Amino acid sequence: MRAVRDLRSGGPEVLEVTEVAEPELTPGGVLIEVTAAGLNRADVLQRQGHYPVPEDATDVFGLEVSGTVLELGQEVPETLGFAVGDRVVALVDSGGYAERAVAPWEQVLPLPDGVDPVAAAGLPEVAATVFSNVFMAAAAREGETLLVHGGAGGIGTHAIQVARALGMRVLATVGSAEKARVVEELGATAISYRDEDFVVRARELTDGRGVDVILDVVGAKYLEPNLRALAANGRIVVIGMQGGAKGELDVGLLLQKRAALIGTTLRARPATEKAAIMAAVREHVWPLLASGAVRPLVSRTFPLDQVREAHEYFDSGSHVGKVLLSM
């Protein structure tokens, strides 16, 4: 089958489609004929040599797919209700940039009602990331204010929609007028990080109180300003390092605000934690997709043969929503 393997590190030019062996169905696995795969920041970090593949995982890129069930492992519970031919989405440890992939049954969900099968490929990673961080780790609640950095990306656009649907107010940082328009259409208040001090603006928009939860993909560069933008008893969840890995933090201010600083990754979590996250996503997020309150936003879809172009486009930072690969 055709797939994209992690053979050497570098820019998009290192990516190529090759023939690889078919994935082996595990006893608790679901073999999926892949319709499309989502492209994520983790894929870029892996391509650059900064995000190693887990020891027991394939070296094929890709952490999320949509597709059709081809076969079920012998230990997949019948009560799950999956059958050959069902349309599904899945969170995978790796292996998504391929014509077929195997996912643990606990990380496979039915295609949400009313969602396009290709667009659905962009849901598993962002849905798991947003819900596990904003609502499980940070325990965000209805009526609170969420600040999302990188509001127009795949994670940002999903976070805005879910938070709004669950009764939160959302502020989102963006880098262009077009991206501001998109996040405001989704229900957030846009803050231009190029033209505005997001700390000042966030405090203005909350009558000086600050925001309750911050979902941050930037990392070190934003540690100190995030803390200043935070309300008392606020929570900062750092899920990326686009602004560096090492920074300084005013611990005195952290204590004064009784704040929490949380750092997480998704790929390295134990299987039991991923199972719990995906179960929560199915319970809380899937109904929002079925109702239309949340929808996947797709910037562009590239055929697998254009994986280099897809990564170049992603690296440009011009996308709004998800970038996908179709098989």
Please report the pLDDT score of residue 285 as a whole number. 98
Q: Which residues, 6+ apart, have CB-to-CB distance to 34 below 8 Å?
A: 65, 66, 67, 96, 98, 99, 100, 101, 327
**DSSP H or E stretch at residue 216:** strand 211-216
Provide the whole-model pTM: 0.95
Q: Which domains, ranges and CATH numbers included, belong to the chain?
A: 2-122+296-326 (3.90.180.10), 127-263 (3.40.50.720)
Please report the pLDDT score of residue 147 as a whole number. 98
Please report the pLDDT score of residue 159 as a whole number. 98
Helix (H, G, I), strand (E, B) or coil at 141: coil
Please report the pLDDT score of residue 242 as a whole number. 84
Q: Is 232 exposed, middle or buried (0-12, 13-18, 19+ CB in 10 A)?
A: exposed
Report mean pLDDT in 10-residue bins for the chain, 327 residues: 96 98 97 98 94 88 98 95 97 97 98 97 98 98 98 96 98 96 98 95 98 95 96 97 86 96 93 97 98 97 98 95 97
Helices (H), the chain: 41-47, 124-130, 154-165, 177-185, 198-205, 223-229, 251-256, 271-284, 286-291, 307-316
Between CA 34 and CA 102 the distance in angstroms is 10
Please report the pLDDT score of residue 268 as a whole number. 87
What's 275-313 look like in SS3? HHHHHHHHHHCHHHHHHCCCCCCEEEEEEHHHHHHHHHH
